[in-house]
Amino acid sequence: MILFDEVELELDRGLVVLSGPSGAGKSLLMNSILASFGLSIAEATICEVTINRPLGLENEAYKIGDELTLKTLKKEKVRYYIDGQNISKKALATLFMPYVKYLSVRDKGGFDSDTLLDMLDNGLQINDK
Note the pLDDT of residue 104: 63
3-state secondary structure of 108: helix
Span 13-57, pLDDT tens digits:
777 777 888 877 788 888 888 888 888 888 888 888 888 888 888
As a 3-state breakdown, the chain gives helix, strand, coil percent values, each rounded to 5, of 30, 20, 55
Specify the pTM.
Answer: 0.70
Residue 8 has pLDDT above 60, yes or no: yes
pLDDT the model gives residue 111: 62
pLDDT at residue 72, as a whole number = 92
Tens-place pLDDT, residues 69-121? 899 998 889 999 988 889 999 988 998 888 887 666 566 565 677 777 887 78
Find out whether 2 and 21 touch, Cβ atoms under 8 Å.
no
CB 68 within 8 A of CB 56: no
- Average pLDDT for residues 7-18, to the nearest whole number? 77
pLDDT given for residue 79 in this prediction: 92
pLDDT higher than 80, residue 59: no
Query: Long-range pairs for 59-66 at CB < 8 Å and ≥24 separation?
Result: 59/95, 61/91, 62/87
